[in-house]
Amino acid sequence: MTARGLDIDGTIAREGSLGQVPAAFVDVVAAARARIVDSFGDGRLHSAYLYGSIPRGTARPGISDLDLLLALHAEPTDADRRHAERIEQALDESFAQIDGAGILLFSTRTLLSELERHDLGFFVACLCTPLLGDDLADQLPRYRPTPLLARETNGDLSLALAPWRRQAAEAETDDQRKVLSRLVARRVVRTGFTLVMPRWGGWTSDLTESAAAFGSYYPERAGQMRRAAFVGRAPSPDPAVLHELIDDLGPWLATEYAAVHGEKTDRPGHHAAPAPGSTTAES
């Protein structure tokens, strides 16, 4: 792999592996695997994946969360979501090493669809680590840091701004504002990175490196993006932080993104992937 996250042929290298899971999280991953088999091992599950800081080897005990994606043979049902929520709760209660667990549910049809080829498909092929079952990456292409990939992963930031403003206005506690600031900051940094990704010529999920790459092309906004990367790692309860992200940097970034790469193809119901990307989630 090259210094900018590419394989020798110029395609984006897959992040993470089970061999990179830090020792403090090995038991968490084993428990997650067992609980997934218990709840979904009746033929509904096609495959399961880890993503985020744990398979990348950068997780910090007590701070990082556990991120999982389950690919189901059929479209997820309400019963499937309840099973996933029970797994999330059980893992969070059982292991102090993680600050919560999150499970995404998608059908294989959705993950392999043409519509999702450069969003969820990219997410599975490059940002997810196989945990159970047959790897869907074998049915997906190799990806390059192209404008098409930029558009389809993060070309919808504008849709998030109004909901974020509403959540910020409704937040009543420091904890609520900290949770929101973390989510918004990470999404903004991921979007800022993919804005410049084709010119930068590589891939990273690291918030600091993402902000630095962005800043090399937009020096007038570099300081704001560095602050966003910091908040993504150390969430803030300060309303002024949310204001800067949601009412200043965010709207500018959404407008610039649309001008440079265009807007993401409409999705029925507009799925909420981590998008990200938006699927370049760092936990």
Tell me the pLDDT tens digit for each residue of 26-78. 999 999 999 999 999 899 999 999 999 999 999 999 989 999 999 999 999 99
Give dist(CA 116, CA 113) in Å, integer.
5
Contact between 155 and 261 (Cβ < 8 Å): yes
**Mean pLDDT in residue range 200-229:** 97
Contact between 64 and 28 (Cβ < 8 Å): no
Residues 125-141 pLDDT 10s = 999 999 999 999 999 99
Residue 200: which H helix or E strand, with range? helix 174-200
Asked if residue 155 has pLDDT above 90, the reply is: yes
Residues 238-274 pLDDT 10s = 999 999 999 999 999 999 999 999 999 998 765 444 4
**Mean pLDDT in residue range 7-22:** 96
Contact between 125 and 14 (Cβ < 8 Å): yes
CA distances 225 to 71, 200, 216, 252, Å, are: 34, 16, 11, 12
Exposed, middle or buried, 172 (CB in 10 Å: 0-12/13-18/19+)? Answer: exposed
Instruction: Report which DSSP code applies to 6.
Output: B
What is the pLDDT of the chain when averaged over all its residues? 94
Task: Report helix angle 174-200 to 250-261, nearest 10.
Answer: 30
pLDDT at 281 (0 to 100): 44
Mapped onto helix, strand or coil, the DSSP state of residue 46 is strand
Residue 50: which H helix or E strand, with range? strand 45-51
pLDDT at 3 (0 to 100): 76
The pTM (predicted TM-score) of the whole model is 0.92
Residues 67-77 pLDDT 10s = 999 999 999 99
Tokens 């936990």 locate to 283
Backbone angles phi, psi at 104, to 5 degrees: -95, 140
pLDDT at 50 (0 to 100): 98
β-pairing, 66-72 vs 45-51, is antiparallel
User: What's the half-sphere exposure (Cβ side, CA atoms, 13 Å) at 251?
Assistant: 9
Asked if residue 275 has pLDDT above 50, the reply is: no
Share of the chain above pLDDT 90, in %: 91
pLDDT at 269 (0 to 100): 63
Give dist(CA 211, CA 195) in Å, integer.
11
**Mean pLDDT in residue range 148-175:** 96
pLDDT at 1 (0 to 100): 64
